[in-house]
Structure 1
Amino acid sequence: MRSQYSETQKHPLIKNKKRLNQEQVGILETNFCFNNKLDPDRKHQLALELGVPPRQVSIWYQNKRAREKNQSLETDHRALQQRLENVLAENTSLRGEVERLRGELCKIQELFNGFNSSVSSSCDEVGSSKHELEREYYAALIGGAGGQFVAFGGL
């Protein structure tokens, strides 16, 4: 069943609300840039200047603050999303580096274990200290990794 009342009759407090024109919006935008909150005197002054009810000015300011907040949240979200993507890419890169280093460590351990077994048999024959040979081997490994710590016989 259709209502016989018009919109203004259903809500008697709503009068023919007019949309703001571009000039009025420009004035409100300019005022908003200086202060995004309205004091009652400024609200009435703007309402008179624009020829609209003070409530419409209040609501425009309220809506403008809400739009700005949403835009700010969207900008923050995009920035955080970009940071997350960067961190995830760095994480992937670091995981690859860890795997590469683990592989190198395994190779060195295998070499060391092979050297250890050959040293223990040669130590018995030569009579030198197994510990001394391990130190020299370790120094040779470090020296081979960039030549920074070459120190045979004196670790």
Structure 2
Amino acid sequence: MNLSTFPSQKPSSQKHKKHRKQKLTEDQVRLLESNFDSTKKLEPERKHQLSRQLGIPPRQIAIWYQNKRARWKNQSLEHDYTMLQLQLEAALVDTKQLQKEVEQLRSELNKLQAEQARRYKQYNNNINNHHRSFMDYSVSVCHDEAWSSSRSLEEDVNNLYRFDAQVFDVEETYAASSMMGSDIGVFGWRKNLL
């Protein structure tokens, strides 16, 4: 095996050293954090200004911003997820409470409907009883009136017969007096002078 055909490990380790990032100090991180809090997007001018101010390459600042934005989005998503989870739990508690209230209201409604049905039945029974009583009373009154009417009708007929008999008596008397030559006037009997 020929070792000359494999590239040497030294040049790659030298390349690695060239692109190696230097670790940021606490002051540098604090300054980058305060800039990130003011604006989440890094403009090219600001990137070069921070590079000169902190003494680190612009690419490292861009990568730091990119990573920070990703962490910030993840934290934001975690926060949103936590808030949604809390809202969901609160909604579930509210839902259970509302379900209990609905069951209580259903129970009260059923009781009220049963009471209403009982009262309606009692009302109908009372109406029917009053109707029967009224009908019994009406029949009784009608019977009494019919009985008294038939008695008064009978009396009227009797009176009519009596009146007719009196009229007949008067007519007979008039006829008899006419034959005798007397006339019944307004003031009593008078003789016909003919």
Q: Distance in 1 between matches of 2:52 and 2:121?
A: 98
Is residue 101 of structure 2 the alignment partner of residue 97 of structure 1?
A: yes
With structure 1 as the length reference, what TM-score do the two structures score? Answer: 0.68
Name the SS of the counterpart of 1:69 in structure 2: helix
- The unaligned stretches of length 5 or more in structure 2 are 1-7, 133-194
Point out 4+ residue stretches in structure 1 off by more than 3 angstroms. 10-14
Q: Provide Cα deviations, 1:17-43, integer angstroms capped at 9, x if missing partner.
A: 221111211221222233332222322
Distance 1:64 1:111, change over 3 A: same
Q: Distance in 2 between matches of 1:70 and 1:54?
A: 24
Structure 1 segment 105-116 matched on structure 2, within 5 A? 105-116=109-120
Amino acid at match of 1:64: K
Flag the structure with higher helix content.
Answer: 2
- Of the candidates 36, 40, 53, which is equivalent to residue 36 of structure 1? 40
Shift of 1:94: 0.9
Amino acid at match of 2:111: K
Equivalent pairs counted in the alignment come to 125
Q: Provide Cα deviations, 1:95-140, integer angstroms capped at 9, x if missing partner.
A: 1111111111111222222223332222112139xxxxxxxxxxxx
User: Higher relative contact order by CA 8 Å / sep ≥ 6: 1 or 2?
Assistant: 1
Per the alignment, residue 125 of structure 1 pairs with: 129
Amino acid at match of 1:122: N
Amino acid at match of 1:37: K
Shift of 1:48: 2.4
Name the SS of the counterpart of 2:45 in structure 1: helix
Identity percentage of aligned residues:
43
Q: Distance in 1 between matches of 2:62 and 2:79?
A: 26
Amino acid at match of 1:51: G
Flag the structure with higher strand content.
Answer: 2
Distance 1:30 1:126, change over 3 A: same
Structure (1 or 2) with the larger CA radius of gyration: 2
